[in-house]
């Protein structure tokens, strides 16, 4: 049996390997400046931070370390969102409380120091995020370290930060909503047969067909995100060739449903922890 930090790293590797995963780097597709091997190096580099949260280190600090290690390659941001989901899940698994309730408690017990470390993580790589609500401009994550005095002045916990973002970002929404889609993804992965990375790719497409990807919304607007969702529905009803065509089209147009991939990685982790085997 693998330990939680090992399973988290393996989940990142299985996620990126699953193909076809339309719009994302996968075992068969590279993007122009973001290649499969950047994801391999990102997963390897993240392990130390994942180990730290397994060992009981603070969630924010472990996340910052995981991101620093992940970013130690030339491709830029490969797994920021996935790690943000995995860190509290690893903590929950290490405490033998890997459930929606268990991870909710971890989220609710995050501190101002966790929030400060979360902002520090943005110094390690460029992350695509929306403007924050007007009243929260000084807490804009893109300010990185510069926002920390405001975080401390207002005594904002990491859970509070996620509440600021959970309308626009489905990773934050997982944090404030008991990781509902992550656990759902795990259940779906467990219900399928075959190699785990292929099950991950199938569930990625299921998730994409059910809800617009918030990274696509942020980068290309709601209409495009809706269209991608509808296309994913059609692709699921078609054959493999239709999915491959959809995958090529998204890569060609630079549309990257990265949030859905993050949730897939979280689902793979939960499935591995519950005994799914490679």
> For binding to a second copy (CB under 8 A), which residues are involved?
1-2, 6, 9-10, 13-14, 17, 27-28, 35-38, 40-41, 44-45, 47-48, 72-75, 195-197, 277-278
d(CA 266, CA 170): 13
Contact between residue 183 and residue 176 where contact means Cβ atoms under 8 Å apart: no
Closest CA to 200 of 269, 275, 278, 264: 264
Beta bridge partners of 29: 26
Q: Which is nearer to a second copy, 29 or 181 (CB)?
A: 29
What the block records as the tokens of 89 is 């899940």
Q: Which is nearer to a second copy, 7 or 260 (CB)?
A: 7
d(CA 271, CA 117): 28
Question: What values do phi and psi take at 66, rounded to 5?
Answer: -65, -40
Q: Which is nearer to a second copy, 48 or 130 (CB)?
A: 48
- Residue 237 C-beta: closest distance to a second copy, Å: 27
- Residue 28 C-beta: closest distance to a second copy, Å: 7
Q: Which is nearer to a second copy, 74 or 100 (CB)?
A: 74
- Residue 11 C-beta: closest distance to a second copy, Å: 10
d(CA 173, CA 116): 20
Q: Which is nearer to a second copy, 43 or 103 (CB)?
A: 43
- Residue 138 C-beta: closest distance to a second copy, Å: 35
- Residue 36 C-beta: closest distance to a second copy, Å: 6
- Residue 32 C-beta: closest distance to a second copy, Å: 12
* Residue 33 three-state SS: coil
Question: What values do phi and psi take at 49, rounded to 5?
Answer: -65, -40
DSSP 130: P
- Residue 205 C-beta: closest distance to a second copy, Å: 18
d(CA 257, CA 144): 24
Q: Which is nearer to a second copy, 35 or 187 (CB)?
A: 35
Q: Among positive and negative, which fits the CA dihedral 147, 151, 157, 160?
A: negative
What the block records as the tokens of 113 is 């120091």
Q: Which is nearer to a second copy, 30 or 245 (CB)?
A: 30
């Amino acid at each position: 049996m693998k330990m939680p930090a090992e399973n988290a790293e393996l989940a990142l590797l299985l996620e990126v390997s699953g193909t076809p995963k339309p719009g994302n780097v996968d075992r068969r597709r590279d993007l122009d400046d973001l290649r499969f091997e950047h994801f391999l190096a990102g997963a390897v580099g993240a392990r130390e931070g994942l180990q730290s949260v397994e060992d009981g280190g603070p969630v924010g600090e472990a996340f910052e370390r995981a991101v620093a290690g992940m970013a130690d390659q030339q491709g830029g941001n490969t797994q920021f969102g996935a790690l943000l989901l995995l860190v509290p899940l690893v903590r929950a698994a290490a405490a033998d409380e890997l459930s929606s309730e268990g991870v909710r408690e971890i989220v609710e017990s995050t501190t101002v120091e966790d929030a400060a470390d979360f902002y520090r993580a943005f110094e390690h790589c460029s992350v695509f995020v929306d403007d924050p609500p007007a009243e929260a401009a000084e807490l804009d994550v893109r300010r990185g370290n510069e926002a920390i005095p405001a975080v401390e002045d207002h005594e904002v916990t990491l859970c509070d930060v996620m509440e600021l973002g959970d309308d626009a970002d489905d990773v934050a929404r997982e944090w404030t909503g008991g990781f509902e889609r992550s656990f759902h993804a795990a259940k779906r992965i467990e219900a399928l047969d075959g190699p785990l990375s292929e099950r991950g790719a199938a569930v990625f497409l299921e998730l994409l067909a059910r809800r617009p990807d918030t990274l696509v919304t942020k980068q290309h607007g709601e209409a495009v995100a809706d269209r991608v969702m509808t296309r994913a529905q059609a692709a699921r009803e078609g054959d493999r060739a239709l999915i491959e065509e959809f995958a090529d089209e998204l890569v060609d147009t630079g549309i990257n449903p990265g949030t859905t991939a993050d949730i897939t990685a979280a689902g793979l982790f939960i499935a591995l922890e519950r005994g799914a085997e490679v």
